[in-house]
Chains A and B, each alone.
Chain A
């Protein structure tokens, strides 16, 4: 058995609204191991994105415990969480969220600047080559198709050599052909040992994962 990279106990995230308290994540226990490929599935509003944000150290818990890569992140402030994210966790979003003024190559380089690492252009180009975009390195996001943008976003997420890749609806804005390309990239990365946690509505993508967690009303139901 591979070692745990994420261990959560009785994790809850509650939003206090004037009318009621909303439990986006409700008392969840979770253990994710190195090299896992976990799909979190469920209807809209089931808490998938909130759970991903918590596991990716983008958001904090209201209660419970969470260890990510051995760091206890329960109750940690944003300034401490960023140090854990930086270089350890990669993110891929549904809307790609590339910086429109930067070329594909520059978008991929960005995490290195924030991680205070020297930019090795050859490595960035190799990484873009790995997602099949070596010929598009100097293109701006507006010159790329949706699938290409998402592959640049994946390369960007991988640039700082993270231990965990977190993807929120990565195929939500893509057609079937481009979605398949993203599935293939994720498969390949997981086979190379990368831990992947993906929230998706896409049954095809979910089926490729080694584990599927079904979420409903902030709770894991299967």
Chain B
């Protein structure tokens, strides 16, 4: 039996009270870990999504550049269009390594989602897309038979959702057209998985968008040329150019206000947990005033009493830290589903990314919380005069 086991036995004396306090700490730690994991996962997912776009620069028609970039990332309607000539001009630049034109279009499908309706996302593409995204491989089938073929290649999830295989025919509502599935891509873990790809010329013909483009993806030979290249294109009329790094920063900034709110909630949870711990330990100290007096009479120093009380708070917070991390692991999936339903743009892949350093730092944080919360009750207990404590005159 030592001071630590004495502290432990004091804690289990009031199991329900201790359990509730540990629960409060666990919830605070769980919220913290989940939010920090979300922050990390979001940044990681966004970077991965942007990296997997395969290009460093995106040229779009003039308008809100970030709206355009978000729509390119996530898909959707309301895009502005630019002329094919822009592409023809840009590809002359010797600084370009790879370049691909894209034409995005959405079609309302009333039969989607069990008759509730939804959007079909089409992207007109050029063979150069696969040079920029070499990781896009076929699960089955292959490339279109011609530049104007009435054929589609489906992203992995788009095909899974509609249970499509090569050879199937899909009906495009609104334009009353049937397209044949000639290929299905393997899973990429990006937004590409949900897209239906068609030859760019076919997209123009089907959607009556002659010589139009929604975006041009560019990869430069030298990344050092990026700023100069971007500045050169600023002078071109009717277009704008944004780098993927800017998109990443901007999208991340878009959710920063939500982060401030969630971080405030986490902070409140931590403060409530700390107050809960202080309250529990103070109550415990008040109830044990005579015991503390006896220990002092039997030779316990102020430091001994301080340690006993401090160990108790640290134990509560340490155990709370363990349960909080378990809760964050178990509840992460649920939180992820919730966040996906609330935030407008959510990157693909694992959204709540709990790493070993995060778990370790949350433990340290919980212990630090215990150390802080324990100071006042421990000082109060250790400053009790033994004669007053034993005689119960407090």
Closest chain B CB from A205 CB (angstroms) = 21
Q: Which 7 A-B pairs have the closest CB atoms?
A: A86-B299, A101-B9, A114-B299, A59-B387, A97-B294, A114-B300, A58-B387
- Confirm or deny: A106 has a beta carbon within 8 angstroms of a beta carbon on chain B: yes
Indicate if the CB atoms of B296 and A82 lie closer than 8 Å: yes
Q: Report B1-58 residues with CB < 8 Å from chain A CB.
A: 1-3, 6, 9-10, 12-13
- Could you tell me if A106 and B1 are in contact, using CB atoms closer than 8 angstroms? yes
A–B pairs, 16, beta carbons within 8 Å: A56-B297, A58-B386, A58-B390, A78-B302, A82-B300, A82-B301, A93-B294, A97-B290, A97-B390, A99-B6, A99-B294, A100-B13, A101-B9, A106-B1, A110-B298, A160-B298
Q: Is A49 a contact partner of B391 (Cβ separation < 8 A)?
A: yes
Q: Is A109 an interface residue (CB 8 A)?
A: yes
Interface 1/0s, chain A 104-123, versus B by CB < 8 A?
A: 00100111011100010000
Whether B387 lies near A53 (C-beta < 8 A) is yes
- How far does the Cβ of A62 sit from chain B's closest Cβ, in whole Å? 13
Known: A101-B9, A101-B10, A106-B1. A111 touches B298 (CB 8 A): yes
Q: Indicate if the CB atoms of A156 and B298 lie closer than 8 Å.
A: yes
CA A91 – CA B10 in complex, angstroms? 22
Interface residues of B (CB under 8 A from A): 1-3, 6, 9-10, 12-13, 290-291, 293-302, 304, 385-387, 390-391
CA distance A49 to B393 in the complex (A): 13
> With A and B bound together, what is the CA distance between A26 and B394 in angstroms?
25
* 12 further contact pairs, Cβ within 8 A, besides A58-B390, A82-B301, A109-B1: A56-B297, A58-B297, A78-B302, A87-B299, A93-B390, A97-B293, A99-B6, A101-B10, A101-B12, A110-B298, A114-B304, A156-B298
Contact flags A67-86 to B (C-beta < 8 A → 1, else 0): 00000000000110010011
Say whether A95 faces chain B, with CB atoms less than 8 Å apart.
yes
Q: From B10, B12, B291, B386, name the one whose CB has the most chain A CB atoms within 10 angstroms.
A: B386
Closest to B8 in A: A101
Quote the shortest CB–CB distance from A160 to chain B (angstroms).
Answer: 7
Of B1, B10, B293, B304, which is in contact with the most chain A CB atoms at under 10 Å from its CB? Answer: B1
**Contacts of B1 on A, CB cut-off 8 Å?**
102, 106, 109-110, 113, 119
For the complex, give the distance between the alpha carbons of A119 and B296 in Å. 19
Closest to B298 in A: A111
A17-52, CB under 8 A of B: which get 1 and which 0? 000000000000000000000000000000001000
Complex contacts, A93 vs chain B, CB 8 Å: 294, 390
Residues of chain A whose beta carbon lies under 8 Å from any beta carbon of chain B: 49, 53, 56, 58-59, 78-79, 82, 85-87, 91, 93, 95, 97, 99-102, 106, 109-111, 113-115, 119, 156-157, 160
- By beta carbon, the residue of chain B nearest A111 is B298
Cross-chain contact of A78 among B2, B3, B10, B386 (Cβ < 8 A): B386
Q: State the Cβ distance, A83 to closest chain B Cβ, in Å.
A: 8
Q: Of the candidates A91, A101, A119, which one forms a contact with B297 in the assembled complex, judged by CB atoms under 8 Å apart?
A: A91
> B302 contacts which chain A residues (CB < 8 A)?
78-79
Nearest chain A residue, comparing its CB with the CB of B300: A114
- In the complex, what residues of B have CB within 8 A of residue A95's CB? 290
- Contact check, A85 vs B6: say whether CB atoms are below 8 A apart: no
On whether the beta carbons of B290 and A78 are closer than 8 Å, the reply is: no
Q: Which residues of chain A are near B387, meaning CB under 8 Å? A: 53, 58-59
Q: How far is the CB of A65 from chain B (nearest CB, A)?
A: 19
CB distance from B310 to the nearest CB of A (A): 16
